[in-house]
Amino acid sequence: MSVLEGAERLGGGCRSEELTLPGFVHDTCSTVHALALISPFLRDLPLAEHGFEPAQPEAPAAHPLDDGSAVILERSVNDTARGLGPDAGAYRSLYGPLVPRADELVGDTLGPPRPPRHPLLLARFGLSAIRSAYGLARSRFEGERARALLAGHCAHSMLSLRTPASAAFGLMLAVGAHAVGWPVARGGSQRLADAMAEHLRSLGGTLETGRHVDSLEDLPDDGARLLDVTPRELLRIAGERLPETYRRRIGRYRFGPGVFKLDWALDAPIPWTAPEVARAGTVHLGGTLDEIAASEDAAVSGRHYERPFVLLVQPSRFDPTRAPEGKHTAWAYCHLPPGSTRDTTAAIEAQVERFAPGFRDLVLGRSAMGPAEIERRNPNYVGGDINGGVQDLRQLWTRPVARADPYSTPLPGVFLCSSSTPPGGGVHGMCGYWAARSALRV
Ligand SMILES: Cc1cc2nc3c(=O)[nH]c(=O)nc-3n(C[C@H](O)[C@H](O)[C@H](O)COP(=O)(O)OP(=O)(O)OC[C@H]3O[C@@H](n4cnc5c(N)ncnc54)[C@H](O)[C@@H]3O)c2cc1C
């Protein structure tokens, strides 16, 4: 088996670089690897033998509020519930039955549509997951703390929080946080990609970088060809060979909002007003449910929001190898209209200052990437969309098109295996796993 990678370095969404200053290691894309730990495929690989080591923050996530307090997503459902005042019981009843069966739930959801093995469990999850994040937050919880916490998780979906099924992503992320945590890879996400590459080599596979594929002729044709590309790239690579109807259908594939990302080299840890935020790996900056919903509505409808919802990760707090002694790294991004050229550095940093006054004074170096730069570095992020296409009800299970086997294409032996196939974005390896199964069936 051979892997051809267009970039000069392996890893795609799992790469690390010194983006700011020497000695500061930044993940260019993914950092938090909950999905890798919970993935039925990745967790069976001997990645630890090849150098992948998860570093767990004490708490998966924190959500600071304007009153100077913070809601903490703890590893335990009960400990999290205790911070939610009147919504403690509602929180326990939402997640309590799901978390102990996280493996079964993941087995039934991280893949193409198929008859579930655990229909009652899936139905229980589905009743909440099918709802809009906004509707679920308001009907399940009465207090702002629990509503804001749910909104922060669900906003990872890059959907409007008023869209049906926008709750699904957030619920799954929270189940993962309670079941396996939200770790970072010690030394940077590149270690996860490198461990996978080492494993492949140990099985006799080969990998070549700097081999951008422009046509099917660039690929060996003595076996299955799995393309880790978007439908747009598939059209470019195999366009004329694809039947007209399939071409038209994948041409209608929808991409979502983009991201604007900042990486910082910092002189000291971020000085959060609520000291408990320091215990968390991921920090959701956006205040209340209403404020986060307004920010996500703006991004999906082509507008920029003045105080955007910001996802921040502070990996060096839990992995000292990321920065020189005493120094720190952090990254943050916000969602904005696809392909936007607006520089949102000031808006993102204002959100950090809002909950951590004095933050700006600690910045030693900064790297900024808007949607165009993100796509230039990796063609899978069209217009800065890091999920490989909109993940709403219409497109989550039917990516790239509605087809009995979404990984196959009308071309014999040619398969798609990117996040533009089920189950969509994130570092879980399940798109490739299912595509490989599909190829082996042929
Ligand atoms: C800023 C950012 C933060 C993120 N944070 C997280 C996170 O914390 N946790 C998480 O789980 N996910 C996160 N993600 C999302 C995650 O990285 C992606 O959803 C996932 O990597 C997508 O997988 P993929 O296989 O579709 O594409 P990729 O992982 O991007 O891999 C595609 C590979 O194919 C190569 N390629 C594409 N076209 C060609 C071609 N024509 N010829 C040769 N090579 C080609 C690309 O160079 C790339 O290496 C983040 C993404 C970004 C950008």
d(CA 93, CA 78): 10
209: its two tokens: 């970088």
Ligand 1: centre distance to CA 281 (Å): 21
Q: How confident is the model at residue 75, as a pLDDT?
A: 98
d(CA 416, CA 246): 13
The model's pTM is: 0.96
- Span 142-179, pLDDT tens digits: 999 999 999 999 999 999 999 999 999 999 999 999 99
Ligand 1: centre distance to CA 419 (Å): 8
Identify whether the C-beta of residue 229 lies closer than 8 Å to the C-beta of residue 223: no
d(CA 430, CA 422): 8
Q: How confident is the model at residue 9, as a pLDDT?
A: 95
Residue 240 in this model has a pLDDT that exceeds 90: no
The neighbouring-strand residues paired with 173 are none
The neighbouring-strand residues paired with 62 are 72, 283
Q: How confident is the model at residue 35, as a pLDDT?
A: 94
d(CA 281, CA 421): 29
Average the pLDDT over 208-231 and give the result.
94
Ligand 1: centre distance to CA 386 (Å): 7
Ligand 1: centre distance to CA 427 (Å): 8
Average the pLDDT over 104-133 and give the result.
95
CA-nearest residue for atom 41, ligand 1, is: 213
d(CA 284, CA 153): 8
- Span 316-374, pLDDT tens digits: 999 999 999 999 999 999 999 998 999 999 999 999 999 999 999 999 999 999 999 99
Ligand 1 pocket check for 381: Cβ under 6 Å: yes
Among 329, 331, 377, which Cα is nearest to 9's? Answer: 377
At 124, which helix (H) or strand (E)?
Answer: helix 119-129
One-letter amino acid of 68: G
Mention every residue, 6+ apart, whose C-beta is less than 8 A from residue 244.
none
3-class state of residue 397 by DSSP: coil
147: its two tokens: 């509503």
Q: How confident is the model at residue 221, as a pLDDT?
A: 79
Q: How confident is the model at residue 440, as a pLDDT?
A: 94
Ligand 1 pocket check for 109: Cβ under 6 Å: no
Ligand 1 pocket check for 189: Cβ under 6 Å: no
Question: What ligand 1 atom has the least distance to the C-alpha of 428?
Answer: 11
CA-nearest residue for atom 18, ligand 1, is: 426
Residue 442 in this model has a pLDDT that exceeds 80: no
Ligand 1: centre distance to CA 425 (Å): 8
How many C-beta atoms lie closer than 10 Å to residue 339's C-beta? Answer: 16
333: its two tokens: 């991004």
182: its two tokens: 């939200």
The residue to mutate among 190, 261, 375, 419, having the most atoms of ligand 1 within 8 angstroms of its beta carbon, is: 419
Please provide the DSSP assignment of 358-378 as one string: TGGGGEEEEEEE-HHHHHHH-
The residue to which tokens 């903490």 are assigned: 72
One-letter amino acid of 163: T
CA-nearest residue for atom 39, ligand 1, is: 6
pLDDT above 70: percentage of residues in the chain: 100
Ligand 1 pocket check for 235: Cβ under 6 Å: no
Identify whether the C-beta of residue 400 lies closer than 8 Å to the C-beta of residue 56: no
- Span 372-411, pLDDT tens digits: 999 999 999 999 999 999 999 999 889 999 999 999 999 9
Provide the 8-state DSSP code for 3. E
Identify whether the C-beta of residue 150 lies closer than 8 Å to the C-beta of residue 61: no
How many C-beta atoms lie closer than 10 Å to residue 302's C-beta? Answer: 11
Identify whether the C-beta of residue 167 lies closer than 8 Å to the C-beta of residue 392: no
Task: Tell whether the torsion through CA atoms of 124, 126, 128 and 129 is positive or negative.
Answer: positive
Average the pLDDT over 188-195 and give the result.
98
Go through the chain and tell me how many residues it has.
442
One-letter amino acid of 76: S
The residue to mutate among 226, 228, 319, having the most atoms of ligand 1 within 8 angstroms of its beta carbon, is: 228
Average the pLDDT over 119-134 and give the result.
97
Mention every residue, 6+ apart, whose C-beta is less than 8 A from residue 380.
12, 13, 228, 229, 230, 233, 388, 418, 419, 420
Ligand 1 pocket check for 259: Cβ under 6 Å: yes
Residue 239 in this model has a pLDDT that exceeds 90: no
Ligand 1 pocket check for 281: Cβ under 6 Å: no
How many C-beta atoms lie closer than 10 Å to residue 343's C-beta? Answer: 11
Average the pLDDT over 295-319 and give the result.
97
Ligand 1 pocket check for 30: Cβ under 6 Å: yes
Q: How confident is the model at residue 390, as a pLDDT?
A: 97
Give the pLDDT band of residue 220 (cuts 50, 70, 90).
confident
